[in-house]
């Protein structure tokens, strides 16, 4: 009889633990969204064909801008993809950006050389970032749901003007209870 009681009590405890985990999963909701920001680059100085460094920041990307996502309810953040494209290029033919990177906080992601005119004309969208880099950005967003992108590089010639459109494909998990 004692063994039957102990087995019954153990079974009851296992059922309670399992049902608590299932109930916790029921209180979590995933929101998949694309967050975009634009970095405007406008180098007006004529460099006479000499390379010139530049460094610009974007407006903030804020996960809590979605009504259902409240900063204090964020349970997990996952970056599914990080993409960029060049738009609104104005400048001489064959201007190239080299030594470029896109940063989010302490995470800096290198970008290969870009012919601005070709990228814009072909509407090229590039995915960048390793799994480790995307996870680092996600970890930062989990702590503070707002982040600013920084884009920098070396331009082969100026004057030049273009926009860098950065898009984060994010899944945010919130725990409503």
- The predicted model scores a pTM of 0.80
Of 69, 89, 86, the closest CA to residue 28 belongs to: 69
Query: What is the number of structural domains in the chain?
Result: 1
DSSP lists the bridge partners of residue 29 as 174
What SS3 state is found at 83?
Answer: strand
1 lies in some domain: no
Phi, psi of 52 (to 5 degrees): -145, 135
- Which two tokens mark 5? 């009681």
Instruction: Look at residue 23 in the predicted model and tell me its pLDDT.
Output: 45
Residue 79 CA to residue 63 CA, distance in Å, equals 12
40 lies in some domain: yes
Terminal-to-terminal C-alpha distance of the chain: 40
Instruction: Look at residue 2 in the predicted model and tell me its pLDDT.
Output: 61
69 lies in some domain: yes
**DSSP secondary structure letters along 3-72:** HHHHHHHHHHHHHHHHHHHHHHHHTEEEEEEEEEEEEEEEE-S--TT--EEEEEEEEEEEGGGSTT--GG
Instruction: Look at residue 177 in the predicted model and tell me its pLDDT.
Output: 60
15 lies in some domain: no
* pLDDT tens for the chain, residues 1 to 177: 566 665 655 555 665 555 444 444 556 788 788 999 999 999 998 888 899 999 999 888 888 777 666 655 778 889 999 999 999 999 999 999 999 999 998 999 999 999 999 999 999 999 999 999 999 999 998 888 889 999 999 999 999 999 999 999 999 887 766
109 lies in some domain: yes
Instruction: Look at residue 22 in the predicted model and tell me its pLDDT.
Output: 47
21 lies in some domain: no
103 lies in some domain: yes
DSSP 122: T
């Amino acid at each position: 009889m004692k063994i039957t009681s102990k087995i019954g009590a153990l079974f009851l405890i296992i059922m309670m633990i399992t049902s608590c985990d299932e109930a916790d999963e029921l209180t979590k909701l995933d929101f998949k969204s694309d967050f975009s920001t634009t970095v405007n680059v406008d180098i007006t100085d004529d460099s006479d064909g000499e390379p010139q460094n530049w460094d610009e920041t974007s407006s903030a990307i804020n996960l809590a801008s979605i009504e259902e996502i409240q900063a204090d309810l964020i349970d997990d953040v996952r970056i599914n993809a990080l993409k960029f494209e060049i738009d609104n290029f104005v400048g001489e033919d064959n201007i190239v950006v080299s030594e470029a990177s896109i940063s989010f906080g302490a995470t800096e992601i290198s970008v290969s050389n870009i012919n601005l005119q070709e990228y814009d004309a072909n509407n090229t969208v590039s995915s960048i970032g390793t799994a480790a880099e995307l996870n680092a950005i996600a970890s930062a967003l989990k702590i503070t749901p707002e982040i600013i992108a920084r884009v920098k590089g070396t331009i082969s010639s100026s004057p030049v003007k273009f926009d860098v459109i950065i898009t984060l494909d994010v899944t945010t998990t919130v725990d409503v209870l």
